[in-house]
Amino acid sequence: MAEKLTSAANEAVKAAVRLRDSARFRRESGRFFLEGARLCADAAGSGCTPAQVFYTLEAAERYADYLAVLLPSARRACEIAGPVAEKLADTHTPQGVFGVFEIPPSGGETEPPGGAWLALENIQDPGNLGAISRTAEALGVRGVVLSGCCDRYNPKAQRAAMGSLLRLNLIGTDDLPSLLTRCAQRGFRTYASVPDAGALGVTQADFSGDVLVVIGNEGSGITRRTRETCTGLITIPMGGRAESLNANSAAAILIWEMMRGRVK
């Protein structure tokens, strides 16, 4: 029998809310919070240990399949009352399933070994970080380098990522230019994507072999040092009004062009 939780003032509930809202608390405690039956099941399936799972009685019936995946590996499972679910929920139409997971240890790789890579520099919106990761995974990008971005364990980033931030090969760095230099020395083409009409159009660029495309901050783009370190500058030629692609649409087109020759 699962433990029952009826008070939103319970310590476990308060800790889960802090994990939801504070990147610092996530870092300090080595845990993160997710909302949603499928997302929680995906996280468990990707090797993240569920420290706690919270679910309403209604959700236990409706999402029995996902909970069957999730609960066996959960250290603690709590059936929660409506007010507790309301306290935990961060979405408009909550499903009543929530989980606290252990942040997995960093993967072995610290440098892109080869293939087609993306690097995200200073992406600040969690929704953008998630959506770009989702596109990268869908199109078969080998891995993503993260430099100065918002916290990947932010619940909004995780929701937009649909699990991809937990499955993708991710490398974090606080010195992107040095990483790019080392990649270039090992034969990578490294492209900075910029809005300059004078840069090489993406349809002209060579994305074969070992290649890495850098996408910069939503407003200010790629930093000067990173831009100067890349082996080339690329841009999306536009037939319409310039500078009016949003961050996700531009990223989707860049990733697609990088992968275009690798898919049929």
Which part of the chain contacts a second copy (CB under 8 A), choosing from 46-54, 86-94, 127-135, 185-193? 127-135
Query: What's the closest the beta carbon of residue 238 comes to a second copy, in angstroms?
Result: 5
Q: Provide the CA 71 distance to its chain's centre, in angstroms.
A: 24
Nearest to 74 by CA among 84, 85, 62, 66: 66
Structural tokens at position 239: 């037939």
What stretch of H or E contains 113? Answer: none
String of contacts with a second copy for each residue 159-178, x by CB under 8 A: -x-x-x--------------
Q: Is residue 146 close enough to count as binding a second copy by CB under 8 A?
A: no
Q: Is residue 262 close enough to count as binding a second copy by CB under 8 A?
A: yes
Residue placing its CB nearer to a second copy in the complex, 93 or 244: 244
Q: Provide the CA 136 distance to its chain's centre, in angstroms.
A: 10
Rounded distance, CA 125 to CA 178, Å? 25
Q: Is residue 4 close enough to count as binding a second copy by CB under 8 A?
A: no
Which part of the chain contacts a second copy (CB under 8 A), choosing from 4-12, 31-39, 86-94, 131-139? 131-139
Q: Which long-range contacts (CB under 8 A, 24 or more apart) does 8-12 make?
A: 8/83, 8/84, 8/86, 8/87, 10/84, 12/52, 12/76, 12/78
Residue placing its CB nearer to a second copy in the complex, 136 or 171: 136
Query: What's the closest the beta carbon of residue 260 comes to a second copy, in angstroms?
Result: 6
Residue placing its CB nearer to a second copy in the complex, 74 or 131: 131
Among 26, 134, 152, 227, binds a second copy (CB under 8 A): 134
Query: What's the closest the beta carbon of residue 217 comes to a second copy, in angstroms?
Result: 18
Among 139, 173, 184, 232, binds a second copy (CB under 8 A): 139
Which part of the chain contacts a second copy (CB under 8 A), choosing from 102-110, 149-157, 179-187, 234-242? 234-242
Pick out residues in 185-224 that bind a second copy (CB under 8 A). Answer: 201, 203
Q: Is residue 241 close enough to count as binding a second copy by CB under 8 A?
A: yes
Number of residues that bind a second copy (CB under 8 A): 36
DSSP state string for 117-141: EEEEES---HHHHHHHHHHHHHTT-
Q: Is residue 18 close enough to count as binding a second copy by CB under 8 A?
A: no
DSSP state string for 44-112: HHTT--EEEEEEEHHHHHHTHHHHHHHGGG-SEEEEE-HHHHHHH--SSS--SEEEEEEPPPPPS-SS-
Between strands 31-35 and 97-102, the pairing is antiparallel
Rounded distance, CA 121 to CA 223, Å? 8
Structural tokens at position 243: 């500078």
Q: Is residue 253 close enough to count as binding a second copy by CB under 8 A?
A: yes
- The binding site for a second copy (CB under 8 A) comprises 131, 134-141, 160, 162, 164, 201, 203, 236-242, 244-246, 248-253, 256, 259-260, 262-264
